[in-house]
Amino acid sequence: MSDKRINIDAAFKKMSDIAGFEGIVFISGQGMVLAAKFAEGTVPAKAADGVAACVKDLEDLIKKVNATRMEELSVKGQARTVIFLRNRALGFLTVVFGRESMHPGLAWLKARETMEALEKSLDQLLSKQPGE
């Protein structure tokens, strides 16, 4: 998967009407940051790499315990909420960053829609004939 195939601006725009939303990151199954975008002056850009490393460790732990993967995760701190969602078909994670007040349910919903949209656009890309 190349980050060029992910329209990060469109995904960011779709999420930005959630109150408290600060940014979005896509992480590959191997734990690499594919694309990231944050609202200016909110989350430091290096946080995306840190989050990807933590998720990788967490997944390794879960696999060790019950041979499965993490599907969803929300972490709430005093300053910030982070939502993780794995798309089964695409295999990668969407991570949504927001202020502590960001509504997790709404963030899940929007993240799912973003994933589905991405899945659709990738399907279209893959079904195109060479030279088309």
Partner 1 sequence: MNGLATAILSSIWHRNRMVLRADSGERADSIFFELKPFIPQYRQLILCGQIPKEARFLRNAKFIETSDLNTLRRALAESFDEEELGAPPVQVVFFRADRPAFNDLLAHLDRGWMATTQAGLDVLTAAGLKPAEEIRTRTDTLALLDPLPKDMSLENRIMEDTKSLSGAIKAFRIQSKQHQVHLAFQAIQAELEATPRLTQSYLQETLRLRENTLKKVLEIGRRERRMDISSYVEETPAPVVDFLKKAAAGGVLSQAVVFDGMNLIGFARFGDIELPSRYFLQAWQILSRLETEGLPLGHCRTAELKTASQVTILFYHHRYLFGLIPARDADLPGLKLNIEGELARLWGKAKENP
Paired residues of 114 in beta bridges? none
Which residues, numbered 65-104, are part of the site for partner 1 (CB under 8 A)?
A: 65-66, 68-80, 82, 88, 97, 100
Using the rule CB under 8 A, give the single segment among 5-13, 29-37, 63-71, 113-121 that binds partner 1: 63-71
d(CA 125, CA 34): 17
d(CA 49, CA 22): 16
Least Å distance, CB 22 to partner 1, is: 11
- Among 49, 42, 59, 52, smallest CA distance to 97 is for 42
Q: How many amino acids of this chain bind partner 1 (CB under 8 A)?
A: 33
> With binding defined as CB under 8 A, does residue 109 bind partner 1?
no
Which residue in this structure is represented by tokens 């969803």? 72
Least Å distance, CB 128 to partner 1, is: 31
> With binding defined as CB under 8 A, does residue 58 bind partner 1?
yes
- Sheet holding 33-38: strands in order across? 33-38, 21-27, 93-99, 80-86
Chain residues binding partner 1 by CB under 8 A are 43-44, 46-47, 49-51, 53-54, 57-58, 61-62, 64-66, 68-80, 82, 88, 97, 100
